[in-house]
Structure 1
Amino acid sequence: MNDLPARILARIVSLRAPILLVYALLVPLAAVRAARIPSEGGLERLIEPSDPDYAATREFQRIFPDSPSVVLLFESDDPWAPANVSRVDSAVRELRAVPHLGAFSVLDAVRRARPGAPLAELRRLATGTEFFRRQGLLGDRFLSVVVDLDVHGAAERDGALASVDAALARAGAGAVRRVGAPYVQSWIERESGAASVRYFPFFGALVVGTALLLYRSVRTLLAFVLALGSAVALAVAAGGLLGFTFTIVSVLVPLTVLVTTLATLVYLQSRFVDRPPGTPVAVHQLAALRNKVLPVTASTVAAVLGFAALSVSRVRPIRELGIWTALGLAISWLVAFTLFPALQLALRTPTGTTGVAGGRVYGRLAAALPAFTFRHRRALVTTALLLCAAGAVALFGIPGRLRPMPVAVDSLTYIDPSLPLRSDLVWFRTNVADLNVAHVWIHLPRPAGTDPEVLHAVDRLQSAIEAVPSVIAVLGPTTFLRLRRYFAGGGERLPEDPAQFARAAADLEQMLLAEPGLRGYVDVNGFRDLNV
């Protein structure tokens, strides 16, 4: 055959020496670039930066920076027993001694309100209001410590979490439940980065088994390993050059490219080893490549288009997965028809029908399978259609009878159920509250954030939000005023009378200077932005 594809393939084979040199130079560089791709496992990666809510959140965080924090829960049958209180105090001291860590507990709040008060009085003061319980600072069987992390980036966060564990060990805190988004994000990012490393040995064994069992040749195995490694390295590096990062879904890109490339190489090699007696290897190789170039190209194009269709998704990791995988599959096709033929000749991989393993069993199976599937074609097609219908029902559900398959965006769905991290999060949700936080950003037309009438309206808004059944607690500019009134014996609610409310809020600006935590709810740079 002397058509255009055949002439192109013949030219490629004739240039095998330069091709091997080019790959020898490119693949190490690609491997280095691929190894430097960072992992980002946070669910915020699911959001498109151009989304209005995402952009508004970033602008809000510019005014009110959102420092990550974790919650440590110290359980006891009597959480106010001296031994448990001492355990909490020791942990807080050790945590505060660590740079970039801040620790706060309900004990700090009540001791500041009642300096020198006995433990019984502190307990009465803390449990006399629902505020601390709603905030998760105390419960019937626990006291908790909130640890603020002054960190920037994943590396500093992971270092801070390790410092928390070390501080608890120095304090002799014993068993402590740990919850918080930093723990979840750290685990997801760590597992995302390790996923490929953990699963590659399995696929490595698959490659070895395929080459040795089917072809009984170490040279063929070496050709497979070099071609597969080149395809994966180049595909992953291509994503790195495009600015992609490993996320909870894109870690599948290397494995997808590996499996697809392996299937292509087996397809090509199986035709290559079936060389008729007396036919020169070079002639037969061209005939084998020409015979398989159309089906391999067609299947690759179909897969590339299928993954490329994901580029329309507004979910960033899904879009990156589609583009990255499509590009990787295209690269794997290029490797299969340029590098692999060169390796076949350079390594002199054996050919001839005797080089294919399987013997009589394989031959009998290959001969019997088409007749079997044709004879039972109606049953097989019917079964396939029924399975498709069952999949559609599972995906979309049946109105009034079966719920459709949910979209899993809960962080817990990604965590191994056997891990203490997951059990702590489940316990916290069951016994305390959820960790979901929403912010209401109030932007005023003028700098009136501390005016009594504005604060009065904000306080009514806080009360209205607290009345929503799914809302556990609300923090805002008037929260500190409510607490101060409670500690003074006046109850938690601020007065409704405008004049009395103005007196209760008269010194808020002085409180902003003395209470750093209050500045997270009132922007002191312009007094035009409030956070609830």
Structure 2
Amino acid sequence: MKKWISFVLDRPWVVIAFVLVITAVTASFLPRLIFDASIDAMIPADDPVLIDLREVSEDFGSQELFFVAIQSDDIFSPSTLKKIFELADELATIQGVTDVQSPFNVEMVESSFFGIEIRPMTFSLPQKPEEIAQFKEDILSSPYAGRLATSDGRGAALLLDVDGKSSERNIVINEIEEIVNRYRGPEDIHIVGDAYILNYTEKAMKQDLRNLVPFVIILITLVLYFTFRSLLGVVIPLVTVGASLIWTVGIMSWYGIAVSMISMVMPVILVTLGIASSIHILNKYQESLAEGLSKREALEQTFDIITSPVVMAALTTAAGFASLITAFVHPIREFGVLTALGVLVAMGLSLSLIPALLILFKEPQVRRNDSDEKETILTRMLDGITKWAVVHPRRLTVIVLVVVLTFAFGATRLTLESNIVNYFGESSPVKKGTRVIEEIFGGSMQVSVVVDTGEEDGLKDPQVLEEILVIQEYLNSWDTINHATSIADVIRELNQALWDGDPEFYAIPDSREGIAQQLLLFTMQGGTALDELVSYDYSRALITAQMKTLDAKTMSDVINQVDEFLANRYGNSELEVRLLGTPKVMLRLMNRYVQTQVSSLVSSSIAVGIIVALLMKSIALGLLSLVPLLFTVVLNFGIMGYAGLPLDAVTSIIASLAIGIGVDYAIHYISRYRLELAEKGSVEKALRATGISAGRGIVYNAFALIIGFLVLVFSHFRAISVFGVLISATMIVSSLAALLVIPLLLNYFAKRKRTV
């Protein structure tokens, strides 16, 4: 490595030119960056749950709900009815909106001279009192009551079909949003649905990146300036981290990897982490200059001492991120690999670009013996912490054990979350709209049951239709599931209409022939929408219902109990019955978050331990470096448990990050301790010298990381904000653990070795 540093110091412009060329090439790919926040992207394409959902979507149409909900004191007032009518008409004109189902145009089945008549709920906009009264009676006595209009008059809904295959889907959603905005007031109008949430999420992600990355750069700039109080200490780290970020994101764009809800935090993480090695390098450089060395000598000494810990820190941090390759969730794997790559790129630039720039710049002014008051206070604090750890080991051990046990208990209260709606704050339009749909219409997610008879025209069997009604009644028995509908409802409506509307005949006919004739009559009279309820050969039926947004445990209980009911009733029958839908996908994700957490924790701990052991040529030191990290992980889960913060797609990566990032402190501390011990010969003197020298770098480093990660608090997403707070908390804990637990253990093993 000495030869490499000598090469860089002798030919700095060669290194700088190479970095500029690579930066320019990778930057050219940045305009091709794409975004994808869909839940489908979270799960492998060959997962059975996703395959089932995809097959049903092909047979019966999209299983996504897209609501435009109108909230008013009285939706049956003339002005509100007019607004709903005109809004529906205008939305229908948008290219890409294939259908708009409104309270006015839904099909109504009536008795007639020819048996039945199928007509719209109303042929014209009702404005006169008698017209409104008739319309209200018709819609509230129809199967659409509660779905498109509520009996209390507080809400009406438009159900939209948005072309899912259109490459311009976001443009369609933006047009819908623009039209809806014009119609708002005095009525509240909300847009709810998977497509809208996806569109809003992607826009919020882009806005976050535009705002948060410059913000973190500004804050890091301030931290660097107050740390080194020189232009050199600000420019060089920022140039280095900027180049590494461009390289990483450019490679991401080159490979066509989309920015996800998880990987959107990568730029902030890379900027923040990239500063860390720069701080350690510049801190040591200033120390060397303070010893009276020339610029060249100071740089040679700096990189002779700092290269090993910088490489170890980068490799272990990269290993922590790379451990996420074991994750079930695809975007988490991409995030892990890309961030690991970014860390390694930053390491390479730290050991090439930084010395190349430092040799060209005039060395900064360094105060040798007249450090300012803040430095004196920090030095005394660090020395006091180390001295306390060495002098009172038993007291510190008891405190550490009590803290670990307390937070370990809190970890048992950890919950899960996979609903993207809950990633937003209460004030976001996504959360507001969802809450309205939940309160007024009974649910914002669609859950479906597929009934497969296995034979053509199997659905024309009265017994099969009766079983479909049993499933509907069971679904509707849940407070959290509403408006279960199926082909059986259409058959009952037709049968009642054929008997002059007699309520007694709102039932399934007794014979196959009767059912077949009614379906034929329905089609001949212009009835539509059967394609969304049955397959073309009448072998399969779809039961759909609206489900409320629930917390993870409640949703898991509901889904599992519905699955159990279907398995018990139809497990040994000729009918194949399956539950599917977005809630089922979410449940799948929640289970995988736990697997991701466990696998990444184990793999990152093993990888980090092995890397440290190999580089330090000591198994004991490899294990020692993990102790404060496991302490940090326990505290992280404990905080989440006590605070009621769930384990989700974003927070599930924190533990691996804490291990990968937090080990840097242990590495720098142990590396410096070994040098000080070789020089001073006394364990206590070496620890106290290490506590001051390495401790200063750890404090500056941790402060920069904390400030950088706290920027995420300002994200549009509650999940990202929580991530920022938690990862900042882990940095506080891991730095304190390095300053307290590491000297405690080093002193303990040194005493034990002397005793033996």
TM-score of the aligned structures, taking structure 1 as reference length: 0.86
Partner of 1:112: 120
Counterpart-to-counterpart distance in 2, 1:328 and 1:200: 15
1:108 is paired with a residue whose SS is: coil
Matches within 5 A, 1:358-507: 359-375=372-388, 378=393, 382-396=398-412, 404-448=413-457, 452-453=460-461, 456-468=463-475, 469-470=477-478, 471-485=481-495, 489-491=501-503, 495-499=507-511, 502-507=513-518
The worse-fitting range, judged by mean Cα deviation, of 70-79 and 221-230 is 70-79
1:85 equivalenced with 2:81 (yes/no): yes
- The answer to whether the 8 A contact 1:452-1:506 is kept is no
* C-alpha displacement of 1:10: 2.4
Residue 295 of structure 2, aligned match among 263, 281, 284 = 281
- The answer to whether the 8 A contact 2:35-2:259 is kept is yes
2:145 is paired with a residue whose SS is: helix
Partner of 1:306: 320
1:290 is paired with a residue whose SS is: helix
* C-alpha displacement of 1:268: 0.4
* C-alpha displacement of 1:264: 0.7
1:151 equivalenced with 2:139 (yes/no): no
Letter in structure 1 aligned against 2:18: V
1:125 equivalenced with 2:121 (yes/no): no
1:197 equivalenced with 2:214 (yes/no): no
Q: Deviations over 1:231-268 (max 9, x none)?
A: 11112233334443222221111111111110110110
Counterpart-to-counterpart distance in 1, 2:50 and 2:17: 47
Letter in structure 2 aligned against 1:327: L
Partner of 1:399: none
Structure-2 change in CA distance of 1:242 and 1:509 (3 Å): farther
- Aligned alpha-carbon RMSD (Å): 3.1
- The answer to whether the 8 A contact 2:15-2:352 is kept is yes
Partner of 1:20: 16
Q: Deviations over 1:358-413 (max 9, x none)?
A: 624313422442233422555555444444333322222xxxxxxx2211212232
Letter in structure 2 aligned against 1:159: I
Q: Deviations over 1:146-187 (max 9, x none)?
A: 242433479733322332244345667643331222232222
Structure-2 change in CA distance of 1:431 and 1:67 (3 Å): closer
Structure-2 change in CA distance of 1:164 and 1:85 (3 Å): same
Structure 2 gaps of 5+ residues are 109-118, 125-129, 544-756
1:74 is paired with a residue whose SS is: strand
Partner of 2:554: none
Structure-2 change in CA distance of 1:72 and 1:62 (3 Å): closer
Counterpart-to-counterpart distance in 1, 2:540 and 2:9: 68
Counterpart-to-counterpart distance in 2, 1:91 and 1:240: 40
Structure-2 change in CA distance of 1:210 and 1:118 (3 Å): closer
Residue 61 of structure 1, aligned match among 57, 62, 85 = 57
The worse-fitting range, judged by mean Cα deviation, of 378-387 and 292-301 is 378-387
The worse-fitting range, judged by mean Cα deviation, of 152-161 and 248-257 is 152-161
Partner of 2:698: none
1:159 is paired with a residue whose SS is: helix
- The answer to whether the 8 A contact 1:94-1:170 is kept is no
- The answer to whether the 8 A contact 1:462-1:474 is kept is no
Structure-2 change in CA distance of 1:67 and 1:43 (3 Å): closer
Letter in structure 1 aligned against 2:410: A
Q: Deviations over 1:418-475 (max 9, x none)?
A: 23432232132123212221223344544326x621x651452243233232231223
- The answer to whether the 8 A contact 2:496-2:506 is kept is no
- The answer to whether the 8 A contact 2:180-2:189 is kept is no
Q: Deviations over 1:476-525 (max 9, x none)?
A: 233333344455514497534522x642442425645744422122233x
Letter in structure 2 aligned against 1:395: A
Matches within 5 A, 1:327-346: 327-346=341-360
Partner of 1:164: 176
Letter in structure 1 aligned against 2:444: L
Counterpart-to-counterpart distance in 2, 1:239 and 1:335: 18
Q: Deviations over 1:64-89 (max 9, x none)?
A: 33175532233333332333222221
Letter in structure 1 aligned against 2:335: L
Partner of 1:206: 219
The count of aligned residue pairs is 515
Structure-2 change in CA distance of 1:219 and 1:473 (3 Å): same
Matches within 5 A, 1:343-354: 343-346=357-360, 348-351=361-364, 353-354=366-367
1:437 is paired with a residue whose SS is: strand
- The answer to whether the 8 A contact 1:236-1:253 is kept is no
Partner of 1:33: 29
Partner of 1:71: 67
The worse-fitting range, judged by mean Cα deviation, of 252-261 and 432-441 is 432-441
Residue 250 of structure 1, aligned match among 260, 263, 288 = 263
Structure-2 change in CA distance of 1:314 and 1:184 (3 Å): same
* C-alpha displacement of 1:285: 0.9
Letter in structure 1 aligned against 2:378: L
* C-alpha displacement of 1:333: 0.9
Structure-2 change in CA distance of 1:82 and 1:485 (3 Å): farther
Letter in structure 2 aligned against 1:112: P
Residue 142 of structure 1, aligned match among 154, 172, 177 = 154
Structure-2 change in CA distance of 1:206 and 1:21 (3 Å): same
Q: Deviations over 1:25-73 (max 9, x none)?
A: 1112323324432222233332222311112222332333317553223
* C-alpha displacement of 1:12: 4.0
TM-score of the aligned structures, taking structure 2 as reference length: 0.62
1:521 equivalenced with 2:529 (yes/no): no
The worse-fitting range, judged by mean Cα deviation, of 267-276 and 474-483 is 474-483
Counterpart-to-counterpart distance in 2, 1:34 and 1:182: 26
Structure-2 change in CA distance of 1:289 and 1:357 (3 Å): farther
Structure 1 gaps of 5+ residues are 397-403
Structure-2 change in CA distance of 1:49 and 1:372 (3 Å): same
- The answer to whether the 8 A contact 1:104-1:146 is kept is yes
Partner of 1:290: 304
The worse-fitting range, judged by mean Cα deviation, of 331-340 and 487-496 is 487-496
Residue 3 of structure 2, aligned match among 3, 7, 10 = 7
* C-alpha displacement of 1:134: 4.3
The worse-fitting range, judged by mean Cα deviation, of 62-71 and 146-155 is 146-155
Letter in structure 2 aligned against 1:150: V
Counterpart-to-counterpart distance in 2, 1:479 and 1:32: 58
Letter in structure 1 aligned against 2:473: E
Counterpart-to-counterpart distance in 2, 1:389 and 1:45: 38
Structure-2 change in CA distance of 1:94 and 1:420 (3 Å): same
Counterpart-to-counterpart distance in 1, 2:322 and 2:66: 39
- The answer to whether the 8 A contact 1:87-1:172 is kept is no
Q: Deviations over 1:181-204 (max 9, x none)?
A: 223222222222222322223321
